[in-house]
Chains A and B, each alone.
Chain A
Amino acid sequence: MEVIQLQRRHIEHINSLFQEGYLDDQFTQLQQLQDEVNPDFVVEVVSLFFQDSEKLLTDLGRTLEAQPVDFKRVDACVHQLKGSSSSIGAQRVKNVCIPFRVSCEEKNRDGCLRCLRQVEQEFVFIKNKLETLFRVSNISRLSKASRV
């Protein structure tokens, strides 16, 4: 019973994320790649994403604080972030990266800082959501496994 409820919650969760635009098709692709051979594929990828992105965000913060600002580096970091987030399917994070790059090209420090805040916000949000998701799926999987 619980398992079913959990599973349902899991599905609802994911659906809401899709509907609200936090995740896109690419995430579905990742889910498809997960199978018995590779049961933790999605978790692995997503965890790696979180790690890398946190590092990038810290780096960005530091670079933007420095005087003068090394916009090339900022651009490189944002590019990385954009790439990763699009591979994951974190749509909103990816979308915020686009104006971020524009601000970089314009060498607009304030614009960059603004964008950075937005990216951090989106990132934190998606991280929380996905972590919840995994906990739920973990529990359901474990309970499934135990039932066998």
Chain B
Amino acid sequence: MSRKNVKVPLLGSCNMMESCNCIEPQWPADELLMKYQYISDFFIALAYFSIPLELIYFVKKSAVFPYRWVLVQFGAFIVLCGATHLINLWTFTMHTKTVAVVMTVSKVLTAAVSCATALMLVHIIPDLLSVKTRELFLKNKAAELDREMGLIRTQEETGRHVRMLTHEIRSTLDRHTILKTTLVELGRTLALEECALWMPTRTGLELQLSHTLRHQNPVGHSVPIQLPVINQVFSSNHAVKISPNCPVARVRPLTGKYIPGEVVAVRVPLLHLSNFQINDWPELSTKRYALMVLMLPSDSARQWHVYEMELVEVVADQVAVALSHAAILEESMRARDLLMEQNVALDLARREAEMAIRARNDFLAVMNHEMRTPMHAIIALSSLLQETELTSEQRLMVETILKSSNLLATLINDVLDLSRLEDGSLELDSGTFNLHAVFREVLNLIKPIASVKKLSMVLNLTPDLPEYAVGDEQRLMQIILNVVGNAVKFSKEGSISVTASIAKAESLRDARSPEFFPVPSDAHFYLRVQVKDTGTGINPQDIPKIFNKFAHTQAAKNQGGTGLGLAICKRFVSLMEGHVWLESEGVGKGCTAIFIVKLGSKDHTNDHEHQNLLPAPTSYVRTDFSGLKVLVIDDNGVNRIVTKGLLVRMGCDVMVVSSGQECLELMSSGGQKFKVLLLDLSMPGMDGYDVARHIQDRFPTRHDRPLIVALTGNTDRATRDRCYRVGMDGVIPKPVSLDRMRSALSELLEFGNLRGSQ
């Protein structure tokens, strides 16, 4: 507030003074007012000076203050105001011009600054206001984020719960524990009021309550499986909200006044073990589900959150997996137990069988011994008897006794054989024998018995039957004897015909025995023996049983006998890679027994061995080639003499020529017919190959041609092949020794060539 210099007219004082030098201040009546003004000005100035100081102080303290400029301006404004007021203090009294000037200056400045400040504030204040709004906004945002954080934390908690739950579920393989743990943990995690599990029954038509959380003894509640709500849940693999009023959710009696909490149901796939296939994934094949129902506490405002439902789905899957593991384990344990039982049973059976076999073997061994001893006595004494003086009648009798006892001894051996056959320890002997003689022998043995029964015996050996064969003579005879013996035994009258032939390929394939695929070869042939009788015959139905041990037809029982014969027969025949069977048209219509066995051919095997020996065995080597006409062709004089000397030593009739030309001339002159030509391969002019070719041309038929043998120092394969290709019959390496020449010539003469030994 500006003060004017007020000159107050003074009463009684000099009033004409414009510039009064009166020093004495004059305090008029409004002196009080002036005093207050003075004091106020003073305080205002003070305040004005202190405000900027405070501002500066606090701004310095705070770190951030964007509006420094404004502050400076404001500070200046205030300082100047303060200054003005301060200077005003001096204007209360008379003052000099300087003071007035200072006063004016300060006022002017103040005016300027305050106007500037005012203008500035127009810009600044909206900004400041907006800062405030932004601050508010951020605060809100922060609050929201806090809320969300809270939510996430809860979810994470839940996730942890799920993991823990899963761990609990999977840590056990016991079905009941799994289910119970699931329900408990779920109940705890989600703070459920009730949690129930419905399992399908065996029939698959109903769901039965199997586990609940709170109610310890679920009373066998069951609901039909075809309810729409259940179908809805089963058709989706998500957790589905269902009405609390549906039958599955009504686990315990409703208590009327309460609003039931929301209910969620989810399906739990079950592994159906009877469908369990390794290559078939259970998801596809299983159609069985269990139902898990979860209820939130009633009267709470809680709702099922998405994440909670997801949790439920996850748990349901885990439970399914855990249950399937438990089921597999159960199954495998059961299978293992079963196997163990079977093992034990098998072991027992094996031991029993072994004991039985041992017992039988012991028995057989003992019996054999007991039986053989008297047999030996009979045979030995009969033989001795034969040596003594006997009448012809007596002799005949003794021979028959001997033959019969030999037969009996054979039969005893049979029994032992059979047991050995069954063990697989029997091996056939192999030797060359007279096939025809075997048949004759058998017939001789049987003839007495047959003649007693007035049966006629006919033996027919086909012409293609070889005289000799290779095989087990003894056992073959046993087989024939057995078969013929049976024929005789079961015939009361009529005739027995025995036909032996070589089995042809067509007849080898017998429809009755599809496993029998004989393959004839050069070294073997198949002997076919057919024994036809006119006896009692056999019922075709009984035929398969005939070959079993101890099996008897009715007729056979009447005849007696061990019943072992045919069984042994069959075994021997099998060992000989053959087959035996019976044909009969029926009872009373006779019977035909046929067997085929494999025997080795005598001649071929010998030839075969013969060929494989190299060089030709010495037993076949001729030592005397006397008269053998040989022509030697060699251009080397020394070689000629040496070769000639060798051949002469061996007794040949030798001629030598020194070139192919001479040879050909000699041969075509016709005077000499040479059996063997020995020629050197490397001759000047016409070499050995040319000579050979010429000879081939001149003597196209093998019969006229001499045998051509090359003598060469070069014995590699190529040379040999070339020689044979050209048509030569042999190659002998030079230098040739006497022995070598001898063996080569004998091989040459025997086989017509030397290929066998090369």
Contact = CB atoms under 8 A, between A and B. Distances in A.
A5 interface: no
Nearest to B737: A29
A84 interface: yes
A33 B636 contact: no
Contacts of B638: 45, 48-49, 52, 83-84, 87-88
Interface stretch (A11-19, A61-69, A74-82, A122-130): A74-82
A86 B734 contact: yes
A80 B684 CA distance: 10
Nearest to B682: A79
Nearest to A84: B638
Nearest to A85: B638
A58 interface: no
A41 B636 contact: no
B735 A45 contact: no
A30 B633 CA distance: 19
B639 interface: yes
B738 A89 contact: no
Contacts of A45: 638, 641-642, 645
A77 to B, nearest CB: 11
A45 B648 CA distance: 14
A26 interface: yes
Contacts of A82: 713
Provide the main secondary structure of the chain B interface: helix
A27 B645 CA distance: 13
A25 B737 contact: yes
Contact of B636 (A29, A30, A80): A80
Nearest to A45: B641
Main secondary structure on A side of the interface with B: helix
B502 to A, nearest CB: 52
B420 interface: no
A83 B737 CA distance: 15
A52 B645 contact: no
A30 B682 contact: no
A38 B645 contact: yes
Contacts of A41: 645
B65 to A, nearest CB: 112
Contacts of B376: none
A30 B648 CA distance: 12
Contacts of A38: 645, 648
A32 B642 CA distance: 11
B738 A32 contact: yes
Given A83-B734, A86-B735, A89-B735, A33 B646 contact: yes
B637 A29 contact: no
Nearest to B634: A83
Given A29-B738, A33-B738, A87 B636 contact: yes
A82 B227 CA distance: 113
A48 B646 CA distance: 17
B271 to A, nearest CB: 86
B641 A29 contact: no
A117 B684 CA distance: 25
Contact of B645 (A33, A49, A86): A33
B713 A84 contact: no
Interface in B615-664: 635-639, 641-643, 645-646, 648-649
Contacts of A48: 637-638, 641
A110 interface: no
A91 to B, nearest CB: 10
Nearest to A86: B735
B623 to A, nearest CB: 14
A83 B639 contact: yes
Contacts of B648: 33, 38
Nearest to B647: A33
Contacts of B737: 25-26, 29
B632 to A, nearest CB: 12
Interface string B696-731: 000000000000000001000000000000000000
Nearest to A35: B649
Nearest to B636: A83
A2 interface: no
A87 B735 contact: yes
Contacts of A29: 642, 646, 735, 737-738
A26 B735 contact: yes
A79 B641 CA distance: 17
Contacts of A36: none
Interface string A37-66: 010010011001100100000000000000
A52 B684 CA distance: 16
A33 B649 contact: yes
Nearest to A33: B645
Contacts of A32: 649, 738
Contacts of B649: 32-33, 35
A38 B648 CA distance: 10
Interface in A79-118: 79-80, 82-84, 86-89
Report the 7 A-B pairs with minimum CB-CB distance, sorted nearest first.
A84-B638, A33-B645, A87-B642, A26-B735, A49-B638, A87-B639, A83-B636
Given A41-B645, A83-B734, 16 more contacts: A25-B737, A30-B642, A32-B738, A33-B642, A33-B648, A45-B638, A48-B637, A49-B638, A82-B713, A83-B680, A84-B636, A86-B734, A87-B642, A88-B638, A88-B642, A89-B735
21 contacts: A25-B737, A29-B646, A29-B738, A30-B642, A30-B645, A32-B738, A33-B642, A33-B649, A33-B738, A38-B648, A48-B638, A49-B638, A52-B637, A82-B713, A83-B713, A84-B636, A84-B638, A86-B734, A86-B735, A87-B639, A87-B643
